[in-house]
Amino acid sequence: MIRLFGILTGLFFAVAVLWSFGNGAFVAATEGLGEATAEKVFYEHPEELDLPSNGVFGTFDEAQLQRGYQVYKEVCSACHSLKFVAFRDLAQLGYDEGQIKAEAASFQVPGIDPATGEATTRPGLATDYFPSPYPNTVAAAAANNNAIPPDLSLITKARHDGSAYVHSLLTGYSEPPAELTQQFPNFTTPPGLNYNRYFPNLNIAMAPPLALDGQVTYGEGNPEPTVDQMATDVAAFLTWTAEPTLVKRRQTGFAVLGFVLFATILAYFAKQQVWAAVKPKKAAKAKD
């Protein structure tokens, strides 16, 4: 009885796995089929972005990360927070203690009045985290056409294509192409929204944050701050905020793989040594 129950249970799980595989294959094969819509026809997949941190041997470019932080501070921080990044983390970008304290003090963070106990704001400290520019989500929605700007700490992990998505979205604003309105006369960009070919439904509440070349002034020795360059730099910076230990993790991974390879070779030779005296005995018995 127990054996029969075990067989039936195994069959049930086997059928469930086969059904899931078949259903997934069907969905993958038919996804995107059906009636054409403006979103399906004119939405463009994010373009590949070549960053120094790409690939298994990639590393962060400190100068680029500093430029990306500058773009975030001067442009993106007006609407977006970095709630998982502390000011002291900027030391990883090459800033010294004095610079970090100055950067922290340039932001206002939530605090408490020691005299009255009431909520207030104060200049940031190195141990504080980057604050939200809005006191709450209601205020954020009211200031952005009822759309709450997302926190950018993990945005390159939270979006498919990560860094490439951020770069493409920032550079994908334009007027709706004539072909779109000709093919889909009912398509419109409502007031308060903006057309962006890299946004899934083509209309996004965020206004173009990088609208002009030179919007952010880079120091000497840096590339020209074109829209594309600024978008690339801030995408690199947000790649770092999402995983500041990226390079260290890869280095640790190579060390672990090397150890596993060494241990495997060592185990093989140990096995050969242990069974070396046994094999001749087995061979002799087989001859007898």
Annotated binding site: 76, 79-80, 206
Q: Which residues pair with 195 in a beta bridge?
A: 203
CA 42 remoteness from chain centre: 24
With a CB cutoff of 8 Å and minimum separation 6, the contacts of 230 are 67, 71, 75, 170, 210, 215, 216
**Could you tell me the two tokens for 87?**
């000011």
Distance from the Cα of residue 248 to its chain's centroid:
17
Residues counted in the chain: 288
DSSP assignment of 10-32 equals HHHHHHHHHHHHHHHHHHHHHTT
Q: Which residues of 216-229 are buried (b: 16+ CB within 10 A; e: fewer)?
A: bebeeeeeebebeb
Binding residues for heme c, as ranges, are: 76, 79-80, 206
